[in-house]
């Protein structure tokens, strides 16, 4: 048994959310589901520079979220500092746009978490907390990006 109090195992170091969901695959699924919703939403879609090809936007969202929640820094390695408010400055985001974005993200979250937890008892036990944590962040982030 490991009794060394200075070792991470016995310090109960909190796992990052990235680790708790098992890595990048979860965020790829989440971003993919989110863009399934965006494709059904002509109002939101109209903001996108390339509405016919959302693969780049989807990938950037997955990498950003993975990085935000403690995963590898691929997003910043490719794009630099996130500066999301600046990157969204050219898209007029009002309350209704924020609500559309959040609706698609909340749906995507339900689908991605349901797929992730499956029948696994341990995952099922933590799923509600995970959803709550992510949802709170998305509400704050989307609110912060309003610019009109
Ligand atoms: C509130 C409503 C929002 C709207 C209407 C919106 C819209 C957009 C649009 C039109 C793009 C451009 C996609 C492209 O480059 O092709 C974009 C990029 C992006 N959005 Fe949003 N967004 C919103 C909220 C958010 C939130 C809350 C997050 C993160 C939590 C986010 C993360 C990103 C990221 C990471 C990119 C890619 C930035 C880059 O590296 O170029 N967005 N968004």
Average of per-residue pLDDT across 58-74? 98
- Across 38-67, b (16+ Cβ under 10 Å) vs e yields beeeeebeebeeeeeebeebbbbbbbbbbb
Residue 1 CA: distances (Å) to CA of 10, 13, 24, 102, 111: 10, 17, 31, 46, 39
Measuring from each residue's beta carbon to the nearest atom of ligand 1, which residues come in under 6 Å?
Answer: 44, 47-50, 56-57, 60-61, 64, 79, 84, 87-88, 91, 93, 97-98, 101, 138, 141-142, 145
Determine the atom of ligand 1 nearest the C-alpha atom of 146.
1
Name which residue sits closest to atom 15 of ligand 1, judged by CA.
57
Average of per-residue pLDDT across 56-83? 98
Q: What percent of the chain has pLDDT over 70?
A: 92
More confident residue, 74 or 13: 74
> pTM value?
0.91
What dotted CATH number matches 8-144? 1.10.490.10
Question: What pLDDT does 9 receive?
Answer: 52
For all residues of the chain together, what is the average pLDDT?
93
- Residue 101 reports pLDDT greater than 90: yes
Residue range 32-63, pLDDT digits in tens = 999 999 999 999 999 999 999 999 999 999 99
CB 27 within 8 A of CB 65: yes
Please tell me the distance between residue 61's alpha carbon and the centre of ligand 1 in angstroms: 7
């Amino acid at each position: 048994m490991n009794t060394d109090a200075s070792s991470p195992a016995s310090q109960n170091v909190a796992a990052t959310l990235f680790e708790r969901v098992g890595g990048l695959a979860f965020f790829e699924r989440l971003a993919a589901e989110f863009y399934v919703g965006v494709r059904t939403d002509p109002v939101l879609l109209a903001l996108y520079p390339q509405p016919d090809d959302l693969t780049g936007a989807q990938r950037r969202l997955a990498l950003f979220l993975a990085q935000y929640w403690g995963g590898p820094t691929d997003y910043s390695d490719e794009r630099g500092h996130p500066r999301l408010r600046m990157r969204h400055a050219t898209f007029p985001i009002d309350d209704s746009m924020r609500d559309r974005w959040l609706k698609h993200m909340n749906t995507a979250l339900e689908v991605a978490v349901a797929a992730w937890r499956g029948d696994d008892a341990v995952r099922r036990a933590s799923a509600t907390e995970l959803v709550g944590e992510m949802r709170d962040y998305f509400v704050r982030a989307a609110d912060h990006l309003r610019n009109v």
